[in-house]
Amino acid sequence: MKVYIGADHGGFKLKEELKVWLKELGHDMEDLGAFSFLPEDDFVDYAWPLALKVGGDEVARGILICRSGQGECIVANKAKGVRAVTAWNEKSAYAGRHDNDANVVCLPADYISLETAKKMIEIFLTTPFGTEERFRRRVGKVRNIDINL
């Protein structure tokens, strides 16, 4: 599975640390920026290209990192085919994947440690979408919204 990662200035340091870890694990990972620390950059400039890539690939996953995880989540969810969630702990990362078939996780760098981020990403990348009918029905309705846009 292809894994895309992106971050603005607020998530840049955490992104750089996570890239090393993801490579060590052997993931097919592509960094979509920022490529240097730019204190005045805007999360939109990294979230939107990542969302377009993930939304166009049924099996790809995305990781976005900013200070709160919220702005990038808003942007990512504008792209067709994207189901982005902000995760703040392991349980929320699990629920995003298992219950909602999320394909992008947005991390709040100001509120989590590197170790917590690693645990959440591991959960996000390995948890399958739940087989329960209610989850399938709900995500089906979300996909229908995409079709009608």
Residues annotated as part of the active site: 66
Element (H, E) at 28: strand 28-31
Contacts of residue 67, Cβ cutoff 8 Å, sequence gap at least 6: 10, 11, 108, 109, 110
- The token pair at 42 is 């805007």
End-to-end alpha-carbon separation of the chain, Å?
27
